[in-house]
Chain A
Amino acid sequence: MKEGDQSVNHKFSVDSGFSENPEYTQREEYGMKKNLVVLLVILVTVSATLFAGGAAEADKGYDIYIYNSKGENAAQFADMAKAYEAETGVRVKTFSIGSGQDHMETLRAEMNSSSKPSIFSIQGVKELIEWYQGGFVVDLNTVSYQSFKDFASGISPSLRLTNDGKNSFGVPYNVEGYGFIVDRQMVADLFGSNKVDAFIEDTKAASYAEWEALVKALDSYIKRNTAATVTLNGNRYALAANKTGLAQKLNGVFAVMGAEKWTYGDHFINVPLNAVFDGPNAAAEATEAQIDSLRGPLMAYAKALDLKTSYLAGMNGAARRSQDFVSSANFGYDQAVQIFADSKAVFFKQGNWAYGNIANVNPQQAARLDFIPVKMPFQAADVTLPGMSVEKLNSSIPVFVPNYYAINSMVSDKEQQLAMDFLIWLNTSETGKKYVIEDFNFIPYNADPATTELPNSLGNSILDYIKSGNIIAAPYHGAPATWSGDVVGLRLMEQYLTKANWTAQDHQAIVDYAIQSWKDLN
């Protein structure tokens, strides 16, 4: 015990007295001058390395710099840049953001740096406002470079990126569209191989009532083997008496991504907006009365969403709206693609961008795909947009420009001109078009639907819609920034897609919430 007491005492007294020991305090001034010199040397070195970047202003190592926000084609995009350099000698630096990443944050960082992109991408009018206010975008109408001005004036007015209907701030990347994807072989196995084309044509034109009857007949056929006859566009189609081929694998009617808000938020809800608005700019300037006139269309939307999510296919057997349905481990993007590609569902509401995903899982199926329009139970009174009709809404698919190339007004005039030359080359030269069509798997915005043949079934299906004029717009781009996905989509996911049965009150509550939140966000 005694020894212990002593040690404790020692420990604390010695330890705390460490720095105050008089023996060392005299040495305070030791080597002070020398240290100051070392300090200065370090400061100079550090600042020299920091500002070294500024000296290399003369050559940035590229002639034009393209910021690409579509990560899916990063590798092909870089190849295309090399091909351009080989043809013209212009050095192109490309940067593609990873797929699914927030491209805006990175783009803003690039815009704040000294090497700003000469060409950057803008995903619709929602993003345009930021670059417009900040003075980053060149109005293509005011360009003095004549050959580019001619090229830009060739962009169809309905595809232009504009916030007042006159100016034009971008060259479209491509056009995209979406609807219910259907496998032609599945149709053959369900209705007979000689009925495929007729069935698809009639389903495109069918009314919502016919569509609803088709969905219910299919559901009953899948679950209870009741071979019925359905009427589509006035023509009758009989389900095969016995399930053969792909039909044996079915466990539900629809493959749906319950965990992806943008599918039922942004894209599905875009369809009813077409009953009131002709495009994003009309939606951006929506009046209180116009928002109120969405009540009818949105009610049709709620009912159509109810139908779509009531007959779900799942990974392991039929699924219902439930908490499982909104979890990304069960009904995320990849899972829904898998369900459809495994032929467990008849219809899959997605766009032509999903072609690559489907081809990865099932390349044979990817070659046989077609689009059927999204249908909703609109009443004639719901449609207030002049020239629009219930029939047109239910037989058209939304086709729109998802992304634009914009020219940065903050870079030098020379760099801007080189950027313009590049955009002309990409969209008009043989090499450029080859990359756009074959490597990016895009539908060119300037494609002539009569003569263009794309190497992908979904792209060709969209060209068919363009050819027949059965297309509607994407006014949801003009709705308040978070409205469709993060507000309405989130509410649907949190409160309704988890709920097995929807009542008339639920439909009404969805409509009320959507209308009220749009007004609040304005």
Chain B
Amino acid sequence: MRRGLFVYTEDHYTIRRIYMDFYKKWFWPLLTPAIILFLLVILFPFIVGVLNSFLAWRGTYYFDPDTGVRAQSVFSSFVGFENYRNAFQDQRFVRALIYTVQYTLVAVVVVNFVGLGLALLVTKVNRGAGLFRTVFFLPNMLGGLALGFIWQFIFQIVFTNILFSPEGLLHIPFLRYMTQNSTKALFALVILNAWQFGGYMMIIYIAGLGNISRDYYEAASIDGASPMRTFRSITVPMLMPSFTVVFFLTLSNSFKLLDQNVALTDGEFNTRLLAMQILRTVRDTTPPDYGKAQAQAVIFFLLVAVITLTQVYVTKKRELEL
């Protein structure tokens, strides 16, 4: 079985020419709708959002701190960096920031292990590989909220009363009442997300594994390399492009996690992640402080951007130039 390796013939060039002509002609018409959508639903709201983070925005009106009512013009609602100052002085925000970083560290490692492990297993089995792939991928088809409620039931009833209770199969106190303690809830979220995203990451790793030429393994086995050595010296370096993608996805997904957090614990027992903290900031005060929530969102954006870009830069550098 040879994959990804073939010699181009004249026929291939002819086919390519036809495609190239097509794309050259239709490049802008095909791209324009996407650009317009991007401008309207991402870029424009983003710019407005950044501007709002400097205003005493209350959701439906701009507040004027001097008069105590609706501002006559947007300019009298300008508060400079006060929203940012308030955000960092909010203990809940700082706490959510730390909790999110802790969660991300654990989640990235676990989801990667699960994804790669499943990929290695599925590519090794001879029978029913398609079935396994489908089954492992399935949890990804469910929405985060639905998953959160399903797992809430699993943690509160199945884990607590059936599997790990003193009368259950195995008495493990750590796995009981996982939604009622911030440390345990962090691992509960990790379990949930490994289950949900593991299959998706598996698909990416399967594609990466499929692109590694058999020849390297053949050469290694002739040289008498052990399986561990082969994994370390061939699979891992050749998989670097997949690692870049998977790390990026798991990092940004973990930082942005919201639905599962809301459904599983609703932030109780100090389990607010950053996204939920931003969402709930407007409920923490009356009138709602949308300006502060927006400032938190901008900080959140910068944080995710810096971290993921650094990660992509670092892992990209480690990809083999062939």
Q: Which residues of chain A have a CB within 8 Å of any CB of chain B? A: 1, 4, 6-8, 10-12, 14, 18, 23-24, 27-28, 30-31, 34-36, 38-39, 42-43, 46, 50, 102, 104-105, 108, 111-112, 126-127, 129-130, 132-136, 323-324, 326-330, 481-482, 486, 490, 493-494, 498
Bound complex: CA A434 to CA B68 (Å) = 42
B100 at the interface (CB under 8 A from A): no
Q: A112-B60, A323-B177, A482-B284 are in contact. Are A43 and B322 (CB under 8 A)?
A: no
Bound complex: CA A437 to CA B272 (Å) = 42
* B5: min CB distance to chain A, Å: 4
Bound complex: CA A401 to CA B6 (Å) = 77
Bound complex: CA A486 to CA B179 (Å) = 17
Question: Contact: B58 with A133, CB < 8 Å?
Answer: yes
* B155: min CB distance to chain A, Å: 9
B123 at the interface (CB under 8 A from A): no
Q: Which residues of A contact B269 (CB under 8 A)?
A: 494
B68, closest chain A residue (CB)? A133
Q: Which residues of A contact B70 (CB under 8 A)?
A: 133-135
Q: Which residues of A contact B69 (CB under 8 A)?
A: 132-135
Question: Contact: A108 with B60, CB < 8 Å?
Answer: yes
* A19: min CB distance to chain B, Å: 9
The answer, among B36, B156, B287, for a CB contact under 8 Å with A46, is: B36
Q: A42-B32, A130-B288, A330-B156 are in contact. Are A8 and B24 (CB under 8 A)?
A: no
CB contact list, B21-41 vs A, under 8 A: 21, 24-29, 32-33, 36, 40
Bound complex: CA A38 to CA B33 (Å) = 12
* B222: min CB distance to chain A, Å: 10
The answer, among A1, A130, A329, for a CB contact under 8 Å with B157, is: A329
> Chain B, 52-76, contact with A by CB distance < 8 Å: what is the 0/1 string?
0000001111010000111000000
Q: Which residues of B contact A133 (CB under 8 A)?
A: 58, 61, 63, 68-70, 287
Q: A27-B20, A27-B21, A327-B156 are in contact. Are A35 and B286 (CB under 8 A)?
A: no
Question: Contact: B268 with A27, CB < 8 Å?
Answer: no
Question: Contact: A38 with B153, CB < 8 Å?
Answer: no
Q: Which residues of B contact A129 (CB under 8 A)?
A: 286-287
Beyond A35-B25, A130-B60, 16 extra complex contacts between A and B, CB < 8 Å:
A1-B215, A8-B213, A11-B5, A23-B17, A27-B21, A30-B21, A108-B288, A112-B59, A126-B286, A129-B287, A130-B59, A135-B70, A327-B179, A328-B152, A328-B156, A486-B284
Q: Which residues of B contact A486 (CB under 8 A)?
A: 283-284
B7 at the interface (CB under 8 A from A): yes
Question: Contact: A42 with B60, CB < 8 Å?
Answer: no
Q: Which residues of B contact A327 (CB under 8 A)?
A: 156, 160, 177, 179-180
Q: Which residues of A contact B29 (CB under 8 A)?
A: 35, 38-39, 42
Question: Contact: B215 with A108, CB < 8 Å?
Answer: no
Question: Contact: B286 with A30, CB < 8 Å?
Answer: no
B285 at the interface (CB under 8 A from A): yes
Question: Contact: B61 with A134, CB < 8 Å?
Answer: yes
Q: Which residues of A contact B26 (CB under 8 A)?
A: 35
Bound complex: CA A344 to CA B27 (Å) = 70
24 contacts between A and B (CB under 8 A): A1-B215, A7-B6, A8-B213, A11-B4, A12-B322, A27-B20, A27-B24, A28-B24, A35-B29, A38-B28, A43-B36, A111-B60, A132-B69, A133-B58, A133-B63, A133-B69, A134-B70, A136-B60, A323-B177, A330-B156, A481-B284, A482-B285, A494-B180, A494-B269
* B68: min CB distance to chain A, Å: 7
The answer, among B5, B58, B268, for a CB contact under 8 Å with A493, is: B268
Chain B CB within 10 Å — which of A134, A326, A498 has the most? A134
Q: A134-B58, A490-B268 are in contact. Are A329 and B180 (CB under 8 A)?
A: no
Question: Contact: A43 with B284, CB < 8 Å?
Answer: no
Bound complex: CA A478 to CA B176 (Å) = 39
Q: Which residues of A contact B174 (CB under 8 A)?
A: none
Q: Which residues of B contact A105 (CB under 8 A)?
A: 282
Q: A12-B322, A27-B21 are in contact. Are A130 and B5 (CB under 8 A)?
A: no
The answer, among B8, B17, B286, for a CB contact under 8 Å with A10, is: B8
Q: Which residues of A contact B286 (CB under 8 A)?
A: 126-127, 129-130, 481
* B77: min CB distance to chain A, Å: 12
A329, closest chain B residue (CB)? B156
> Chain B, 195-231, contact with A by CB distance < 8 Å: what is the 0/1 string?
0000000000000000001010000000000000000
Q: A10-B8, A134-B70 are in contact. Are A30 and B288 (CB under 8 A)?
A: no
Bound complex: CA A266 to CA B156 (Å) = 25
Question: Contact: A324 with B160, CB < 8 Å?
Answer: yes
Q: Which residues of A contact B283 (CB under 8 A)?
A: 102, 104, 481-482, 486
B177, closest chain A residue (CB)? A323
* A161: min CB distance to chain B, Å: 14
Bound complex: CA A136 to CA B29 (Å) = 45
Bound complex: CA A7 to CA B4 (Å) = 10
A18, closest chain B residue (CB)? B16
Bound complex: CA A486 to CA B4 (Å) = 58
Closest 9 CB pairs of A and B: A134-B61, A130-B287, A481-B286, A329-B156, A323-B177, A7-B5, A38-B29, A111-B60, A327-B156
Bound complex: CA A31 to CA B322 (Å) = 36
Question: Contact: B5 with A8, CB < 8 Å?
Answer: yes
A1, closest chain B residue (CB)? B215
B180, closest chain A residue (CB)? A323
* B283: min CB distance to chain A, Å: 8
Bound complex: CA A162 to CA B186 (Å) = 44
Q: Which residues of A contact B287 (CB under 8 A)?
A: 129-130, 133-134
* A169: min CB distance to chain B, Å: 14
Bound complex: CA A7 to CA B6 (Å) = 6
* A15: min CB distance to chain B, Å: 9
Bound complex: CA A392 to CA B287 (Å) = 34
* A39: min CB distance to chain B, Å: 5
The answer, among B20, B28, B60, for a CB contact under 8 Å with A134, is: B60
Q: Which residues of A contact B8 (CB under 8 A)?
A: 10, 14
Q: Which residues of B contact A12 (CB under 8 A)?
A: 322
